[in-house]
């Protein structure tokens, strides 16, 4: 949809036709009263919402005086031009009113925000009836939706040639991926005209500002080559996890046909934890809307490297149906970084001195766009006290140094037991280091397959170890990213024929550069339909095709996993490591509990610890007793029992910190402990 404004000038003509009305002021032109207002209201009733229903053209008079109207027009981007709109408006007015010599000024494109403002102005003037300006029907009712935020602007830049666009790209230290796309956009092999979008874009950048620098060159280049009709850039951001059934969002995409829509995929500022689950419905909804309008509405997906949000899941799903060009943030040398910094600086506030630039830019020879923005932000912050609020120029703020507690290797080593797993991790790290040395010496090196099977009962730390493994391998630069994608049968088996393979491949793309953890993998074959075979075959194929990019870990109960692999020789042959996570014994369970208690700052006496050891002796004789989860549940119930005890003992007295941190024997006389006593098997340890 294109929104624009124009001025219509006309002259009144004398006629004896009683069906034609004169659009003239009453005799008292200084106080025209309702007669003039009703004339314009009647005219807007004839024009207004989709007055040309076949072509979906809407037009409104928003301000008027005798002989001159200020009008706004909305029309579809494809197959309709502004001259056709003028002819349609002229026809309506000339058939119903006594006018002649109608002329239209050159139209000026509007943002939807400005179009909406002028509609409200027409309403304030009394020129329209509410039902004549249904904003949802026009598709501009999306600005106040609380599930997402919207900003709009019109593209202002113009790059008439590839040379102009390339020069602009050099100023933002454009990556090779962007320069190559500019070559394709300006290629003489293309027909200059709008027939639909052959591709869409994903921009990976460190911030929204850096991404918009790319957008502000990309969109004008597409407009210049007639790949876009309109200049509107609609930015959708702060997408909430409840945004999965919003008619306003679909209206946004519908009204943005012929224009560009930017979708920022970092979600909202709240911590949603696992975006794969919390944003599942959001991704499904966006997928449905985007694929519906993708031919005419250009989508630019923005992934922020610091807050990737649901970008991996979104792009993985979409890539099955639309072609997406990846544009990465660029790098530049010292001189390019300097020019970029000067471009970002606001001369009305202050400009960095040569000394300041030399001090910052002498640290290395190459800079990323993120580096430049960080330097600029630091300058701006320091410049506020040096140049604007000078009273703070000598103020120093001393902050307590924060320690980095994210040490996955050490966390793995602190876990109780798991000697064979810790040994394997050391071997993988050592192999990675030797591989790098071989490459440095010019020797050929290909990383061995690292697909794994984790077998063990619930609570034996399979998932925890897999998460830590992803972080360890990332820190050691053995894999490109620390992604950890956990999935199960519901994530891989689709409801319809042909969909399962797509879902499996989407999960592999999502996990690229990391680990794909398939829990209870044997459940994939618990299916009477044929979709399970499709899932297994696709997993086997992707494990081979992406062996250098994705590590697959299949996890589950020992017996069921053995049967599962026996039935799938192709799967078994691609497994490099089979790791068994044994059940914990009473001593290890006691150590796990002690570790949890110490980590949360509690204290437990020797007698209480002996009592817990006895509970674990009973628990370990039970089938599927829960391992580490049992220890955690016991600790949590003991905390609740301690709370009840302290309230009873102290009543209105003050409770000291020592009492708050101490767990006693009676605190472990809880439901879970009583349960294992009653279910203790007579076979096992002799007491």
7-49 pLDDT tens trace = 999 888 877 676 677 777 665 545 555 677 888 888 888 888 8
Q: Is the pLDDT of residue 256 over 50?
A: yes
- Residue 173 backbone zone (phi > 0: left; psi -120 to 50: alpha; other: beta): left
Q: Under CATH, domain 408-581 is a member of which superfamily?
A: P-loop containing nucleotide triphosphate hydrolases (3.40.50.300)
314 vs 494, residue with greater confidence: 314
pLDDT at 403: 47
Among 1.10.8.60, 1.20.58.220, 3.40.50.300, 3.30.420.40, what is the CATH number of 586-678? 1.10.8.60
- pLDDT of res. 496: 67
Locate the domains of the chain by residue range.
2-138, 149-329, 333-392, 408-581, 586-678
Alpha-carbon distance 186 to 161, whole Å? 7
When comparing pLDDT for 479 and 153, which is higher? Answer: 153
Q: Please list the residues that pair with 519 across neighbouring strands.
A: 555
What is the structure's pLDDT at 278? 63
Q: For residue 16, what pLDDT is reported?
A: 67
Region 440-460: what's the mean pLDDT? 79
The first and second tokens of residue 291, run together, are 């694929």
Instruction: Tell if the pTM clears 0.75, that is, is over it.
Output: no
| Alpha carbon 312 to its chain's center | 8
- Selected residue with higher pLDDT from 257 and 385: 257
- The verdict on domain 149-329 having CATH code 3.40.50 is yes
In the chain, the percentage of residues whose pLDDT exceeds 70 is 86
Q: What is the C-alpha separation between 601 and 606, in angstroms, rounded?
A: 16
Q: How far apart are CA 642 and CA 59, in angstroms?
A: 72
CA-nearest of 381, 452, 383 to 421 is 452
Supply the pLDDT for residue 671. 74
pLDDT (mean) for 79-83? 85
pLDDT at 324: 94
Residue 557 has pLDDT above 80, yes or no: yes
Whether residue 186 has pLDDT greater than 70: yes
- Of the listed ranges 319-328, 333-342, 572-581, the least confidently predicted one is 333-342
- Give every CB contact of residue 463 below 8 A, 6+ residues apart in sequence: 486, 517, 519, 555
Q: Is the model's pLDDT at 411 over the cut of 70?
A: yes
Mean per-residue pLDDT, 442-463: 81
Pairing of strands 68-75, 57-65: antiparallel
Mean pLDDT of 117-138: 76
pLDDT in tens, 618-658: 887 777 666 677 888 888 888 888 888 888 888 878 888 88
Task: Measure the CA–CA gap between 155 and 229, rounded to whole angstroms.
Answer: 12
The number of residues making up the chain comes to 687
Q: How far is CA 414 from the centre of its chain?
A: 34
Q: How many angstroms separate the CA atoms of 270 and 266, rounded? A: 10
Quote the Cα angle for 317-318-320, to 5°.
85
Contact (CB, 8 A) for 172 and 179 = no
Q: Which two tokens stand for residue 55?
A: 């072509």
Question: Please, what is the average pLDDT of the chain?
Answer: 82
pLDDT of residue 659: 86
| φ, ψ (nearest 5 deg) of residue 278 | -70, -25
Which one is predicted more confidently, 160 or 364?
160
In the predicted model, what is the mean pLDDT of residues 54-67? Answer: 87
CA Rg value for the chain: 34
Q: Do domains 149-329 and 408-581 have the same CATH topology?
A: yes
d(CA 539, CA 242): 32
b or e along 478-517 (b: 16 or more beta carbons within 10 Å of the residue's beta carbon)?
bbebbbbbbbebebbbbeeeeebbbbbbbbbbbbbebbbb
Q: Confirm if 479 and 551 have CB atoms less than 8 A apart.
A: yes
Give the span between the Cα atoms of 502 and 516, in whole angstroms.
16
Angle between helices 462-475 and 419-440 (to 10 degrees): 20
- Average pLDDT value for residue range 477-488: 82
Q: Which pLDDT score is estimated for 347?
A: 67
pLDDT for residue 404: 47
Helical packing angle, 162-171 and 334-344, nearest 10°: 90
> What's the rounded Cα separation, in Å, for the pair 220 and 216?
7
């Amino acid at each position: 949809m294109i929104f624009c404004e124009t001025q219509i000038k006309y002259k009144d003509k004398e006629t004896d036709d009683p069906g034609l009305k004169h659009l003239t002021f009453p005799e008292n032109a200084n106080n025209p009263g309702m007669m003039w207002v009703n004339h314009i209201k009647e005219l807007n009733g004839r024009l207004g919402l989709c007055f040309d229903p076949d072509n979906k053209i809407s037009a409104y008079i928003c301000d008027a005086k005798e002989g001159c109207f200020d009008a706004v027009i909305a029309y579809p981007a494809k197959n309709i031009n502004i001259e056709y709109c003028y002819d349609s408006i002229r026809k309506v007015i000339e058939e119903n009113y006594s006018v002649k010599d109608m002329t239209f000024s050159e139209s000026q494109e509007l943002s939807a925000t400005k179009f909406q403002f002028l509609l409200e102005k027409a309403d304030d003037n009394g020129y329209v009836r509410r039902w004549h300006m249904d904003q949802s029907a026009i598709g501009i009712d999306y600005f106040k939706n609380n599930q997402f935020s919207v900003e709009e602007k019109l593209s202002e830049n113009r790059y008439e040639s590839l040379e102009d666009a390339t020069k602009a790209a050099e100023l933002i230290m454009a990556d090779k991926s962007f320069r190559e796309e500019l070559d394709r956009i300006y290629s003489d092999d293309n027909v200059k005209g709008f027939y639909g979008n052959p591709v869409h874009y994903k921009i990976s950048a460190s911030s929204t500002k850096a991404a918009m620098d790319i957008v502000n060159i990309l969109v004008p280049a597409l407009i210049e080559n007639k790949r876009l009709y309109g200049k509107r850039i609609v930015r959708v951001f702060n997408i909430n996890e409840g945004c999965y059934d919003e008619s306003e969002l679909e209206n946004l995409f519908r009204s943005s046909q012929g224009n560009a829509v930017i979708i920022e995929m970092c979600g909202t500022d709240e911590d949603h934890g696992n975006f794969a689950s919390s944003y599942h419905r959001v991704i499904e909804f966006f997928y449905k809307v985007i694929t519906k309008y993708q031919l005419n509405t250009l989508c630019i997906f923005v992934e922020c490297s610091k807050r990737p949000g649901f970008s991996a899941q979104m792009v993985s799903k979409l890539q099955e149906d639309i072609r997406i060009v990846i544009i990465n943030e660029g790098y530049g040398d010292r001189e390019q970084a300097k020019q970029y910094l000067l471009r970002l600086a606001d001369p009305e506030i202050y400009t960095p001195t040569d000394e300041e630039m030399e001090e910052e830019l002498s640290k290395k020879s190459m800079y990323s766009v993120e580096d430049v923005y960080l330097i600029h932000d630091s300058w701006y912050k320091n410049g506020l006290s040096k140049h604007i609020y000078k009273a703070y120029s000598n103020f120093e703020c001393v902050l307590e140094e924060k320690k980095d507690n994210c040490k996955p290797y050490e966390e793995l080593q602190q876990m109780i037991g798991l000697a064979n797993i810790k040994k394997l991790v050391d071997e993988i790290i050592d192999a990675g280091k030797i591989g790098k040395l071989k490459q440095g010496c010019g020797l050929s090196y290909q990383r061995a397959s690292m697909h794994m099977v984790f077998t063990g009962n619930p609570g034996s730390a399979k998932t925890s170890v897999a998460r830590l493994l992803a972080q360890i391998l990332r820190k050691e630069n053995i894999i490109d990213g620390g992604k950890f994608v956990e999935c199960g049968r519901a994530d891989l088996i689709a409801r319809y024929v042909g969909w399962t393979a797509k879902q499996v491949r989407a999960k592999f793309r999502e996990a690229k550069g990391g680990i794909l953890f398939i829990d209870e993998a044997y459940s994939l074959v618990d299916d009477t339909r044929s979709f399970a075979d499709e899932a297994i075959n696709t997993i086997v194929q992707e494990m081979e095709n992406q062996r250098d990019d994705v590590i697959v870990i299949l996890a589950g109960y020992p017996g069921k996993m053995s049967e599962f692999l026996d039935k799938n020789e192709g799967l078994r042959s691609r497994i490099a490591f089979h790791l068994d996570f044994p059940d914990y014994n009473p001593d290890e369970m006691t150590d796990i509990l002690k570790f949890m208690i110490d980590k949360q700052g509690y204290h437990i006496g020797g007698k209480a610890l002996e009592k817990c050891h006895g509970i674990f002796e009973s628990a370990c004789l039970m089938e599927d007793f829960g391992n580490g989860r049992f220890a955690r549940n016991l600790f949590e119930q003991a905390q609740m029992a301690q709370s009840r005890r302290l309230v009873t003992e102290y009543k209105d007295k003050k409770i000291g910190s020592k009492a708050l941190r101490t767990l006693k024997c009676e605190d472990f006389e809880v439901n879970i402990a009583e349960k294992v006593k009653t279910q203790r098997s007579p076979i096992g340890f002799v007491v």
